[in-house]
Structure 1
């Protein structure tokens, strides 16, 4: 083995090893924080099994066929675990993990027993493996539903929370690894180093976010669980929110949840929960709505200012953000709205 291949083997194997370690970490962490971390743990486990299979098959084609079969079969669970992990964090629905895991585990097990890889190599290469990769892709497509809000934030040039970066990294990492395996016939079969990059990135994110209240281990949805706001508190917060409008605090383009909580003398946790659960929107979108209402009034009354300047006067920090948000909210561009409502 040349120096280049030794280096490639080292980093590829190290990626798989890191995957196993992270799998154990999240399995242990799940007991203390969030059940969804079990799905993340199992996702990293089956992904690492697949990586190990690739590494050893690439550097030793004579490796046991049973080992190859196990590695290929693990792919059938990567997509489902990705889907379950993202869904469990972003919805309040009860997760029926059984229907997403047991059928595939049963099918690949039966296929492995009835049609073992070492006796039915052509069947596996032509049909079973392609079927597993197709199923993996379908779950990646289904999982995009839970990533769409993050993509929407990017399109609207909103700042991403650390938890958004975490979920997007996991999703894109899994999708990229799927693509690498899917086109392995045309490129190189060894994607262990590629997978290692993904695992290493997760490790880096893990250390960066480990003390963050927005991290994947202390996500807001978990903090809200089983903590309903009583009617008296809801009425009080509703009354306090009017202060933001009366004082036009939203005109500050950097106005944040933390600023609001200090001004209203309400904890960030409670204010965020109220806006999310009662008003059905994020705090940033609430402030955006206030700014649009301000912009409407200015567009209806001010004639001697440019539309762009009115956007800045409404609290928006850029022309593109203003135009995009206004069109989405009203169905009209600021210019069209001004023309239709000019007095």
Structure 2
């Protein structure tokens, strides 16, 4: 259709470069969804790829004919169009790398410092990352290898499906991607931890004493029943730094904080089941400190080699 036949063709120039911000939007979405932290003023810098594409192609933004020509005839020798392509597709690689680094960092931090860490949350996040990588792989295939329109159409359809799927899933479960208390753990001052590291490694006798103290406190006061217990709050209650507690659990106890606390939780549930408790498994799990049914089942099976239901049946 001729560009002049529609009053909306002037929008083509603005919409054609819009995917240049998809990488940034996915990155920011995952960051805010995981931590619950609000966007910062500095996040406006993430629209830079889109702004550059607009500036390089300002002449087609208000011309439907030029915009259609740019879309339908992608091969060009103009330097600004080549630079636009580099920015348009390059931002995807940059933000995929940032996204993978960020999610890996958050996952490692959650494992080390949160007793309520659930691997299911990160399964969703990694699936989202893989889906995004697949969509842009199809777009790269369309523009650089196979120019069949069906490839580009498939990529666009998958992108729309991804947006709707994430919206519906999070609408039904707003906390699906959110990890409680992770924000405070990431923003916690590093002064005490850095000092402990600079002072040297704890000697075996000190580690043994701290481990014994922690075990006594956690067991006698049933601190593990607090589903929001973190490495930092436990260290503060014991009277040591988070760095010292982490080192003690890893070096003297042979496990990280998450494993250490969940071992007590699984033991309590097993004790109740051994006594032939008739209570529901989810009630036993919540009383023991687990934050969700999925994390309870996953952790229980990891420790006991079978599901809670199988353990009860035997």
TM-score by length of 1: 0.46
Q: Which structure is richer in relative contact order (CA contacts within 8 A, separation 6 or more)?
A: 2
TM-score by length of 2: 0.49
